[in-house]
Amino acid sequence: MSHTLPPKALLYCRISSVKQRVEGSGLESQEHRCRQYAAAHGYEIEQVFKDDTSGGGDFMNRQGMVDLLAYLKRHNATNYVVIFDDLKRFARDTMFHLKLRSEFALYSARVECLNFKFEDTPEGKFVETIHAAQGQLEREQTGRQTIQKMQARMEQGYFVFPAPTGYRYERTKEHGKLLMRDEPIASIIAEALAGFADGRFQTQSEIKHFLDTFPEYPKSHNGKVHVQRVKDILTRPIYAGYVEHQRWNINLRKGQHDALISLETFQTNQERLAGKAKAPARKNINKDFPLRGFILCDDCQNPLTACWSKGKNKHHPYYHCHHSNCESYGKSIRRADLEGAFEDLLYTLRPTPELFAAAKAMCKSIWNFRVQYQKKRIGTLKAQKIEVESKVDTLIDLIMDANSPSLRKNYEKRLNTMERDKLVLEEKIVNCGRPTRDYNTTLRTAMDFLANPCILWSSDRLEDKHAVLKLVFSENLTWKRNEGLRTPKTTLPFKVLRAIAAPKSKMVPRR
């Protein structure tokens, strides 16, 4: 006499979010109930499958369910029963519910639920379909309510998506969850964005290399910052203290969080991105040859290149001109000679202590003048704002009267631009005469550099060396064979310091 063996049980447990897994015990309680059910029916539990994501109704977006189906496929000959505690754990979408039932039937697996009895009758299938449709309705209603709440909160200036790099969420009494600066990453991003706006970084590749130098900055799996991440931080107004979401028709508005840069700086970066693209930085530019591309050959006025030359026992670094029609073609310049001459030149640009004290006093005077000047600009800025508001009203009337969709689209594009211009003016009015940085902090940074640019040049970071080249020299330096570096043209601060320090300089007598 033969006896049919009881089916083996596979348990399936699911919660809809990682938060439920971290803060609650949903998966554990589901598994406990399913184990009790299996024991009561004499089922031997062979495997447990779990999910902590919703999947949006599609069971193929849930890794646990995908693994369960793959397990059934590999053990197709085994008599299995799949147990779960609630019909909503199965699939909260009518179409996917029926499809999932077909998948289980394909592998001859029976489905049992703790609070719902499956019946293979027309009436039973009808009731099952109604329950599946109800689950889909609840899921879609919950999703709609969630989006509506997110929209309402964003309209009030709150960011509602995962915190962008440089920020973290912190719960406050007044605002609830609010974006806060995540240091030191926030300051690194602020420096990168400001550097792109003022020309310190000419390309996105230079920003990428700058971010790569900070071990604190989050990297991809290969230990580098991806170029797309650089574009993201350049184009997101969240860093300027503003929020927007075009798909929800939420135009740019002031956010409740602290900004890393001003809106004016953000706009400057957008204009630079929309302008003529610059050639990406060469991959072979590295800290071995920081002057490559900056020093010109005196014979042909082309930039010198550089390389490591293989000697008898080791490699030697050289700069050289690579233009074949040049008289200096193939004539190597030892790196120590060229960079040594450059460092000597940089050393001569240091001002004397007396001159440095005078320059410091001049900077203080100029700073005070600029502060007073900015305070007087409020009237002008307010007039500009009124003019922009008038143009906005005119554009709104044109949009209302426009019959052509393309014309209306162009008007709306111009309207968005003007609205941003208006926000920039409002920001300027608020900050007019109020320096964004402390004078002593700003002066210390600038004066330390003017006092001795050699300090920044001695940095191990290539970005710092390039900053010295941009801040000190207004043109590329020229190397003349057998003579060395030509007399350089410096930027205005160093030019003024040299002019004041010249032996023939005298104070203009009083009249």
Q: Which long-range contacts (CB under 8 A, 24 or more apart) does 137-140 make?
A: 138/88, 138/92, 139/54, 139/57, 139/92, 139/93
Calculate the average pLDDT of the chain: 80
User: For residue 262, is pLDDT > 90?
Assistant: no
pLDDT digits (tens, 9 = 90+) for 173-182: 888 899 999 9
Q: Examine the pLDDT at 24 and tell me if it is beyond 50.
A: no
3 state SS of 210: helix
Structure confidence at residue 286 (pLDDT): 61
Domain count, the chain: 3
**18 has pLDDT over 70:** no
In angstroms, the Cα distances linking 149 to 46, 52, 139, 145, 157 are 43, 23, 15, 6, 13
- Do 139 and 26 belong to one domain? yes
Q: Are residues 91 and 134 in the same domain?
A: yes
The answer for residues whose C-beta is within 8 angstroms of residue 42's C-beta and 6 or more apart is 6
Q: What is the CATH number of the domain that holds 14?
A: 3.40.50.1390
447 found inside a domain:
no
- 120 shares a domain with 61: yes
Evaluate whether residue 398 is within a structural domain. Answer: no
Q: How far apart are CA 376 and CA 393, in angstroms?
A: 28
Mean pLDDT of 334-347: 88
Would you say residue 75 lies in a domain?
yes
DSSP string for 10-53: EEEEE-S-HHHHHHS-HHHHHHHHHHHHHHHTTPEEEEEEEE-S
Does 395 fall in a domain?
Answer: no
130 shares its domain with 33:
yes
Q: Which one is predicted more confidently, 193 or 421?
A: 193
How high is the pLDDT of residue 167?
A: 93
Question: What's the pLDDT score for residue 199?
Answer: 78
* Residue 2 scores a pLDDT above 50: no
Question: Has residue 421 been placed in a domain?
Answer: no
226: phi then psi, degrees, rounded to nearest 5? -75, 145
Q: How far apart are CA 179 and CA 160, in angstroms?
A: 9
The predicted model gives 465-482 an average pLDDT of 84
Q: Quick one: 117 and 37 in the same domain?
A: yes
Tell whether 113 and 173 lie within a shared domain. no
Q: pLDDT tens digits for 308-319? A: 888 777 888 888
Q: Is residue 389 part of a domain?
A: no
Cβ atoms of residues 90 and 113 within 8 Å: yes
Identify whether residues 308 and 183 lie together within a single domain: no
CATH (domain of 217) = 3.90.1750.20
Backbone angles phi, psi at 6, to 5 degrees: -65, 145
Q: Residue 256: which of 153, 164, 161 has the closest Cα?
A: 153
Residue range 27-36: average pLDDT? 86
Does 81 score more than 70 pLDDT? Answer: yes
Asked if residue 138 and residue 50 are part of one domain, the reply reads yes
pLDDT at 131 over 50: yes
> What is the structure's pLDDT at 168?
92
117 and 33 in a common domain: yes
Per-residue DSSP letters for 450-469?
HH-HHHHHT-S-HHHHHHHH
More confident position, 379 or 242? 242
Instruction: Output the pLDDT for position 284.
Output: 44
What is the pLDDT at residue 159?
92
**Total residues belonging to the chain:** 511
68 or 355: whose pLDDT is higher?
68
Q: Are residues 94 and 172 in the same domain?
A: no
Which is higher by pLDDT, 437 or 7? 7
Q: Is residue 410 in some structural domain?
A: no
Cis peptide before 184 (omega within 30 of 0): yes
* pLDDT reading at 250 higher than 90: no
Which of 7-11, 181-185, 248-252, 452-456 has the weakest average pLDDT?
A: 452-456
Confidence check: pLDDT of 412 > 90: no
Pairing of strands 484-485, 477-480: antiparallel
Q: Which of these three, 146, 176, 197, is where a domain ends?
A: 146
Average pLDDT over residues 79-106: 79
Rounded mean pLDDT, 98-108? 82
* Domain membership flag for residue 319: yes
173 with 136, same domain: the answer is no
More confident residue, 507 or 167: 167
Backbone angles phi, psi at 112, to 5 degrees: -135, 140
Each residue of 349-364: b (16+ CB within 10 Å) or e?
Answer: bbbeeeebeebeeebe
Q: Which of 115, 146, 177 is the last residue of a domain?
A: 146
Q: Which domain holds residue 203?
A: 167-274
* pLDDT score of 304 more than 80: yes
| pLDDT for 419 beyond 70 | yes
Pair 44, 125 in one domain: yes
The mean pLDDT of 136-163, rounded to a whole number, is 86
- Rounded CA separation 282/288 (Å): 14
Confidence of residue 238 (pLDDT cuts 50, 70, 90): very high
